[in-house]
Amino acid sequence: MEVKTAEFVLSAPMVSQCPADTKPEYAFIGRSNVGKSSLINMLARNKKLAKTSATPGKTLLINHFIINKEWYLVDLPGYGYAKRSKKEVARLDQMIRGYILGRDQLVNVFVLVDIRLEPQAIDLEFINWLGVSSIPFAIIFTKADKLSASKVKTNVAAYEKKMLETWEEMPPYFITSSDSKQGRDEVLDYIEQINKELSNT
C-alpha cells in the first residue's frame, strides 16, 4: 500500500465522540514509551502526524487520522501509564476499553511490544483480554534496530513460547523499526489485505 495522504481528523475523550463514519479503523496501542507515535509517523511517512514525546504517556485521547481518505489509523492512549493518578488511570482504562469493545468500525488492534524486553505481564494481560473479548489483533514488535538480527529472533521465539502457554497459535506479528523503516510495507500490506476482504463482503 502506498500512503498518499495522512491527515489528523479529531481527538475524542470517549467513543461516542469519535467520527460519525463507517470507514474501517485500525487502532494502535502499547505500553507507555513503546515507540507508538514514532511507528505511526513512520507508517504515514509524516514525522509530525502523531506527537512524539520524551515523556511517556502523553496520548490521553482517542486520536483519529484518515489515511488515503479510505481508512482510519487510531492512536490510543498507552497502558501502564507513567506517573498518573489512580483516578486518571481508571478514566483512561475505561476510555480504551469503551472504544475497543464499543466501536463497530474497529477491525483490528495492533498491540505494540518492545522487542528488547522479555515478555511483560502487562502486555500479556492486555493481549489475553483482547482474545477473551474476541477482538482481532496483531502484535507489532518495535525498536528492532536496537538489537542484532539474531537477538531479535531469540526474543521473538521467547515471546512465542510464552504466548503458546495460553494460546493455541501465535497471532500475526510484525518486526519493525521506526528508524530503519523495517516492517513498514508488511504492516501496510496487512491493512490493505483486510480492507480488500472487507470491500468484498
DSSP one-letter string for 18-56: S-S--S-EEEEEEBTTSSHHHHHHHHHT-TTSSPP-SSS
| β-strand partners of 110 | 28, 138
Whether the CA torsion 175, 199, 23, 3 is positive or negative: it is positive
CA dist 61 and 63 (Å) reads: 6
CA dist 174 and 157 (Å) reads: 13
pLDDT band (50, 70, 90) for residue 175:
very high
3 state SS of 196: helix
The predicted structure's pLDDT at residue 154: 97
CB-neighbour burial class of residue 86 (10 A; exposed 0-12, middle 13-18, buried 19+)? exposed
CA dist 2 and 115 (Å) reads: 26
CA dist 72 and 19 (Å) reads: 10
**107-135 tens-digit pLDDT:** 999 999 999 999 999 999 999 999 999 99
The predicted structure's pLDDT at residue 20: 94
**DSSP 8-state assignment for residue 67:** E
**5-42 tens-digit pLDDT:** 999 999 999 999 999 999 999 999 999 889 999 999 99
The predicted structure's pLDDT at residue 89: 84
Angle, alpha carbons 135-26-193 (nearest 5°) = 95
Domain 6-199 CATH assignment equals 3.40.50.300: yes
Q: Which of 12-21, 45-54, 90-99, 168-177 has the lowest mean pLDDT?
A: 45-54
CA dist 132 and 157 (Å) reads: 23
Residues 6+ apart with CB under 8 A from 148: none
